[in-house]
Amino acid sequence: MSFAIITDSTANLLPEQVAAEQIGILPLELTVDGELVDGAESGSPEFLSGFYQRMRQDAKVSTALVPLGTVDKVVRPLFEAGQDVLYIGFDSALSGTYAAASVYIRDLAAAEFPKRRFIAIDSLAAAFGHGLLVMYACKLRAEGQDFDQVASWVEAHRLNIAHWFTVDDLKYLQRGGRLSKGVQVVGTILNIKPVLHVDDLGRLVPVSMARGRRKSLRTIIDHFGDAAKQPYERQMVTISHGDCLADAEFVADQLRERFGVKDIHINVLDPVIGAHAGPGTFALFFYSADAR
């Protein structure tokens, strides 16, 4: 390949996508009940199958940035192989990973690989929305666009990646400071489900409240119809779910039936993000006709 693309584990890409496109992954750290989970393991189906159940049982979960030693292990071999590197990083409004990793890689290139080029882009995106942006970059590379062309497209179009999501249990947003305790208690009693999106600064923003889970999912589907770039059938859509596959399949079926969408990718929500959003989180990502 003419250049390498790397990203963070929170991009929520499917293992087969990572392998097919040879994407370098920088794994954020996850600790569950005091035990550090290996970055390569945390995204595996075997781990994810039990992770959200452990959260439902009030496991103590914490997260941390990618260790710089791990960044070095991913990037150094690419530079040594003579490849330039495009890094599309996790939303800087939600994590310090992008800032830490991009500074380290830039310094590494300057000190030891001055002939190699490095471009870092803050995706301002999260979960499989971040992954969708990476997928577009890989697609452009496969079509023959060069390093600068792909980087320029990602920079110019990152705000076209729409994020719409809801959560099943408000306590996780409350713990993270996204909701007050009072709103969380009242919302839980009334079965209120927030519908949120990511704004142009990469921040999580509540947009509306829906009474009941199915209503929140239908609201998200309606947002797709209002905002997605047409023709709908040419959309590449990604879905992340926090152990609620039935909801993911319901929305995917609705997108196929109502809008003719064909290219839909579903994955379990990355546990580093899931640790803050909770079991039952559902998120839909697509290319919007307008910036957020």
pLDDT computed for residue 223 by the predictor: 96
This prediction has a pTM of: 0.92
pLDDT computed for residue 197 by the predictor: 87
**pLDDT tens-digit profile, the chain (292 residues):** 689 999 999 999 999 999 999 999 999 999 999 999 977 778 887 888 899 999 999 999 999 999 999 999 999 999 999 999 999 999 999 999 999 999 999 999 999 999 999 999 999 999 999 999 999 999 999 999 999 999 999 999 999 999 999 988 767 766 655 555 544 434 454 466 788 888 888 887 878 888 889 999 999 999 999 999 999 999 999 999 999 999 999 999 999 999 999 999 999 999 999 998 899 999 999 999 987 6
Q: Could you name the CATH architecture of 160-287?
A: 2-Layer Sandwich (3.30)
pLDDT computed for residue 185 by the predictor: 39
Give me the DSSP letters along the chain: --EEEEEEGGG---HHHHHHHT-EEEPPEEEETTEEEPHHHHTSHHHHHHHHHHHHTT--EEEEPPPHHHHHHHHHHHHHTT-EEEEEE--TTT-SHHHHHHHHHHHHHHHH-TTS-EEEEE----HHHHHHHHHHHHHHHHTT--HHHHHHHHHHHGGGEEEEEE-S-THHHHHTTSS-HHHHHHHHHTTEEEEEEE-TTS-EEEEEEEESHHHHHHHHHHHHHHHBPSPGGG-EEEEEESS-HHHHHHHHHHHHHHH---EEEEEEPPHHHHHHH-TT-EEEEEEBSS--
pLDDT computed for residue 195 by the predictor: 87
User: Does the structural domain 3-27+64-158 have CATH classification 3.30.70.890?
Assistant: no
Domain boundaries defined on the chain:
3-27+64-158, 160-287
pLDDT computed for residue 174 by the predictor: 60
